[in-house]
Amino acid sequence: MSMLWTPPILEAGEAPQRYRLIACDVLIRELSACSARCPRIVDGNFQPKGLHDLGSEPMAARLQEAIDQTEPHRYDAILLGYGLCSNGILGLRAPVPMENCIIDDCISLLLGSRKAYQAYFEQHPGTYFLSPGWIERATESAKDALSIPSQLGMTRTYQELAQQYGEDNARFLMETLGGWMKHYQRLAYIDTRTGDFQGYKAWARQRASERGWEYGELIGSTELHPSFVSGEWDETDFLVVPPGETIAASHDDQIIKRIQS
């Protein structure tokens, strides 16, 4: 395994390295748990899930703003807790080394690797995934007036639409806006073992039943999480972007790459 970055062994009394974590708040439980056990100092900055709904350029602008607030004299690296995620990480650059997981989205991180995600999806195509973070943060995302679901009316009830547009139009809108669900036949709840969420499982099972989907549960993995926050980044799972370079899409199995900014 080729290592791009290995944190130094500290001498007695030497201060540990300090990382700034900028991540989606869908992962706040899992990454916080790993950060608490990490021998480095990890300062978390969690961005709202609704950034994904703003589109790639507004999302990238919000993330770049958070990166620009990083004090280079205080931090040894930035940990970017995102996958390719609606292309919202493309073009990001930092004044210190920036590390990012090589994944399409956070489901791979919740399952432990891209291979685990791909293996499950090959066995169960058409699966919609939920985790504690996804359930908790979806409601907050829906309240963001700038999000795509809000702008399209996808967060409004049938009664609200009927009151404004009439019942016939409301039925048409509900059927149209719910068209995305036709791509799924199964709902899988990922238990990341960050707490006892029997209520969340029951809620997810009920949502699957309402949509006529199959329901399944699987145990998530924190295999990538410890390496992500510890600084032990191998080039198979992580991309390290030095100052002066930026993140770009690679359009191959590597997903992302670094280029001169």
Instruction: List the structure tokens of 177.
Output: 């806006």
DSSP class of residue 72? T
**Three-state secondary structure call for residue 11:** coil
pLDDT at site 101 = 93
Neighbours of 63 (CB within 10 A): 21
pLDDT of residue 179: 64
Per residue in 107-132, pLDDT (tens digit) is 999 999 889 999 999 999 999 999 99
Rounded CA gap, 13 and 210, in Å?
Answer: 58
Q: Divide the 261 residues of the chain into consecutive groups of 10 and give the mean pLDDT of each group.
A: 52 77 95 92 93 88 96 96 92 96 92 92 93 82 52 57 72 64 88 90 90 92 87 91 96 93 85
pLDDT of residue 231: 87
pLDDT for residue 98: 96
pLDDT at 30: 93
The pLDDT, as a whole number, for residue 53 is: 79
d(CA 3, CA 7): 11
Q: What residue ranges do the domains of the chain occupy?
A: 3-104+223-260, 110-219
User: What is the per-residue pLDDT for 216?
Assistant: 95
Integer angstrom CA distances of residue 16 from 12, 40, 49, 102? 10, 5, 30, 26
